[in-house]
A and B are shown apart, each in its own frame.
Chain A
Amino acid sequence: MGIDLSLIWAAIIAFGVMMYVVMDGFDLGIGILFPFVKRKGERDVMMNTVAPVWDGNETWLVLGGAALFGAFPLAYAVVLSALYLPLILMLLGLIFRGVAFEFRFKAKADKRHLWDKAFIGGSLTATFFQGVALGAYIDGFAVVERVYVGGAFAWLTPFSLFCGLALIVAYALLGCTWLIMKTEGRLQQQMHDLARPLVFVVLAVTGIVSLWTPLAHAEIAARWFSLPNLFWFLPVPLLVLLCTWALLRAVASNAHYSPFLLTLALIFLGYSGLGISLWPYIIPPSISIWEAAAPPQSQGFMLVGALFIIPFILMYTAWSYYVFRGKVTEEDGYH
């Protein structure tokens, strides 16, 4: 068969993970921004902007895990056990964050602050360890005969910790611009004021990660800086700068929608840069998608369903966002 199933599945998983980063990114970002907003009514609004959609957003993370399990079981086994502690901590963070959505509105007034803290702490923990896991993933894993042989704390490096912090500011910017789009009045103004400094911080951490990665990994440096690759990939950093400039302008002109869309573009560009650096390895630095692939019987079986079902998923997800379109105010809280 002339179809490269592994390539298609790598693309589907990459797509799923990107959907996750984009969608759960803004609702984790809202948790990260919670400490900047004190008034209960405004906090209610922040939560209500994502209440109808957050668990759909999180489902993309489940898809990422399950599809990796099915299409690249070796990668699922090695990467997940290598990242044992950060992933468990991420999951615990997501639990705190997830239950807070419901519990916060059920709690009595004297207990509500606990769920606010669970929401903030859970969002920060989940985001930080996602970033740490990402950094450790870029650093790669020691594998001998299909088994991870690095230590329990191999993921703990200055680079991975920095990636954790970087992801926090990136998700904060997503959440901030999402709220500019979905709210109005004082809360929106506050987010406007926050957006500009956040953009600069995001630009700074993106720059640091972009330099640190090739400096630490000769093969990634070679990927980017050898000719003719340099010319092919040069648009990525240039577009990042362009988007940042447009984003600053959009914020300055009090635009409602474009800041969020431009932030999405920024995230997409960063994600593409990551793909360029790592391709074609699914267990960096040396096991490719083809070496980790499940047999074609498995990948083919899954593909039939995925190609048929994912368009429907995208359709009804879009419909759900459409139903809950528009600004959320304190009066029309769903809770």
Chain B
Amino acid sequence: MFGIEALDLARIQFGFTISFHIIFPAITIGLASYLAVLEGLWLNTRQEVYRDLYHFWAKIFAVNFGMGVVSGLVMAYQFGTNWSAFSDFAGAVTGPLLTYEVLTAFFLEAGFLGVMLFGWQRVGPGLHFFSTLMVAIGTLISTFWILASNSWMHTPQGFEIIDGRVIPVDWFAVVFNPSFPYRLAHMATAAFLATAFFVGASAAWHLLRGRDNPALRKMLSMAMWMALLVAPIQAMIGDFHGLNTLKYQPAKIAAIEGHWENHGNEPTPLILFGWPDMQREETRFKLEIPALGSLILTHSLDQQVPALKEFAPEDRPNATIVFWTFRVMVGLGVLMILTGLWGLWLRARGRLYQSRAFLHLAVWMGPSGIIAMLAGWYTTEIGRQPWVIQGLMRTADASSGHSFAQMSLTLALFVVVYFALFGAGLGYMMRLVRKGPVTDEGKQATEGGPGRQRTPSRPLSAADEEPDDSDTPSGRS
């Protein structure tokens, strides 16, 4: 049907569910650390603004975390339901890595989340801070394991193949496979940046509407420091990651560059824009800069970058897609760096909170981190095709082989449910953001003492001052 087969549907389903999923953990990773910093600053400085911000962002964190949990549950089962041949072939490696993620990260997050969100008055400040820290550390441990597993699929090592199945022989080599350190650093940094721009946009949105309080200013200030310092670091990590990919997955680099063939000994040009055409085996309408490709990727002017025609047609990733997803990511990265620099310039002149042009830019940059991260993941994952495990197993051999009808039914269900539910969830998050941090909102949460009504430890919908609780005697939900 339309040239789409059950395998394509399986790939679309995985791509769809994981694209939705990754947004939530990325924000979770960033916000958890942000909340830990805020609570640490509150305990150290006792400035109300930090406690106010903590309570404001904790509400948004809670909604986001819930969506991450339920969409992640799907991922944990999808390997088996949709990719059973992969699971049987490589389960001995990826299964234990996933198990370690559950044991060391998911339980840690879930175990301390309750106290972090609901326990502001049930435990002392030290223990509460400890809980926040455990949640934040849990999110990072989770990143560690899932990226070890994913990186192994890009650069597998530390295994043997016996009876047609992967047998791990050296776990250290499996976990610390060649692309892992770069991918881990790149993803963790991406999560921090995505969160920083989300936080910064939230503050800018309010400032543009004439709302101004110390909490909003603190949000924008912290976000712009992150942009200034971390966006350039991210560009450097990305460069190292690219060099690593060149070494281990040259076809992916050739596809990203839309680079089809080398001529004689001349250095490889860099194609800025163009349309890689897989059938015609050329990049059409291209705009290129001579020798820059060699300079960026080999840091020299005499070495060439591998070209797509050096790989058999059935071993080439789709250059049309990764060429553009890569450019979206890099373009947004450059914008992030520029935003950080502009922010610094305005800060030096004392106009960070007043420049409307800058605040507008900050609002527009709100989703930039998320979009760049998704574009980056499409680049690396589609760039690995046609392999599911580089050089070991083709994606076509990995699926469960469900029928077209089954795959279309479940895909349709996922699409409808995800857009409806997670769309509503994002809507609720935005509504919380629009309410903005209120001065002294953190104070309310600690006024209820023993024997009195406990004010909501997490002033969640208690902070929604909508007249929607009229049927409860206490007036609080």
| Interface of B, helix, strand, loop or mixed by DSSP | helix
Q: A322-335 toward B: CB 8 Å interface, digit per residue (1/0)?
A: 01100000111111
Is there contact, CB below 8 Å, between B456 and A298? no
A66 at the interface (CB under 8 A from B): yes
A168 at the interface (CB under 8 A from B): no
Is there contact, CB below 8 Å, between B107 and A297? no
Is there contact, CB below 8 Å, between B77 and A65? yes
Q: How far is the CB of B376 from chain A (nearest CB, A)?
A: 26
A167 at the interface (CB under 8 A from B): no
Contacts A91-B74, A102-B425, A306-B103; A76 near B114 (Cβ below 8 A): no
Separation of A92 and B414 alpha carbons in the complex (Å): 8
A108 at the interface (CB under 8 A from B): yes
Q: How far is the CB of B106 from chain A (nearest CB, A)?
A: 5
Q: B394-433 toward A: CB 8 Å interface, digit per residue (1/0)?
A: 0000001011001001100110010001101100100110
Contacts A44-B472, A323-B119, A330-B472; A80 near B80 (Cβ below 8 A): yes
Is there contact, CB below 8 Å, between A69 and B118? no
Q: A85-118 toward B: CB 8 Å interface, digit per residue (1/0)?
A: 1011001101110110111011111001000001
Interface residues of A in 57-71 (CB under 8 A from B): 58-59, 61-63, 65-71
List residues of chain B with CB within 8 A of the CB of A2: none
Q: B88-108 toward A: CB 8 Å interface, digit per residue (1/0)?
A: 101111111111111110111
Contacts A103-B428, A332-B454; A70 near B91 (Cβ below 8 A): yes
Find A40's partner among B88, B97, B417, B472 (CB 8 Å cutoff): B472
Is there contact, CB below 8 Å, between B461 and A106? yes
Is there contact, CB below 8 Å, between B456 and A333? yes
Q: How far is the CB of A93 from chain B (nearest CB, A)?
A: 10
Find A98's partner among B69, B101, B108 (CB 8 Å cutoff): B69
Find B99's partner among A44, A69, A316 (CB 8 Å cutoff): A69
List residues of chain A with CB within 8 A of the CB of B287: none
A189 at the interface (CB under 8 A from B): no
Find A323's partner among B76, B114, B474 (CB 8 Å cutoff): B114
A157 at the interface (CB under 8 A from B): no
List residues of chain A with CB within 8 A of the CB of B458: 334-335
Find B115's partner among A79, A112, A323, A335 (CB 8 Å cutoff): A323
List residues of chain A with CB within 8 A of the CB of B123: 323
Find A77's partner among B62, B66, B69, B88 (CB 8 Å cutoff): B88
Q: How far is the CB of A27 from chain B (nearest CB, A)?
A: 13
Find B84's partner among A80, A152, A297 (CB 8 Å cutoff): A80
Of the stretches B192-200, B342-350, B463-471, the one at the interface is B463-471
B73 at the interface (CB under 8 A from A): yes
Is there contact, CB below 8 Å, between B168 and A71? no
List residues of chain A with CB within 8 A of the CB of B466: 108-109
Is there contact, CB below 8 Å, between B122 and A323? yes
Is there contact, CB below 8 Å, between A305 and B91? no
Is there contact, CB below 8 Å, between B73 and A94? yes
Is there contact, CB below 8 Å, between A84 and B103? no
Is there contact, CB below 8 Å, between B77 and A294? no
Is there contact, CB below 8 Å, between B99 and A96? no
List residues of chain A with CB within 8 A of the CB of B409: 85
Is there contact, CB below 8 Å, between B72 and A95? no
A301 at the interface (CB under 8 A from B): yes
Is there contact, CB below 8 Å, between A95 and B95? no
A124 at the interface (CB under 8 A from B): no
B245 at the interface (CB under 8 A from A): no
* Residue positions of A touching B, CB distance < 8 A: 39-41, 44, 51-53, 55-56, 58-59, 61-63, 65-71, 73-74, 76-81, 83-85, 87-88, 91-92, 94-96, 98-99, 101-103, 105-109, 112, 118, 146-148, 152, 294-295, 297-298, 301-302, 305-306, 309-310, 313, 316-317, 319-320, 323-324, 330-335
Known interface pairs A55-B69, A80-B84; 17 further A-B residue pairs with C-beta atoms within 8 A, sorted by A's residue number: A41-B472, A68-B80, A69-B87, A69-B98, A76-B87, A88-B81, A92-B417, A94-B70, A95-B70, A95-B421, A101-B66, A103-B425, A109-B470, A294-B91, A298-B95, A323-B122, A324-B118
List 27 A-B residue pairs with CB atoms under 8 Å apart, sorted by A's residue number. A41-B471, A51-B118, A52-B119, A56-B114, A61-B73, A63-B107, A67-B102, A69-B99, A73-B92, A73-B95, A76-B80, A84-B402, A84-B410, A91-B73, A98-B66, A99-B424, A102-B66, A108-B468, A146-B88, A148-B84, A294-B95, A298-B167, A302-B96, A319-B111, A320-B112, A323-B122, A335-B458
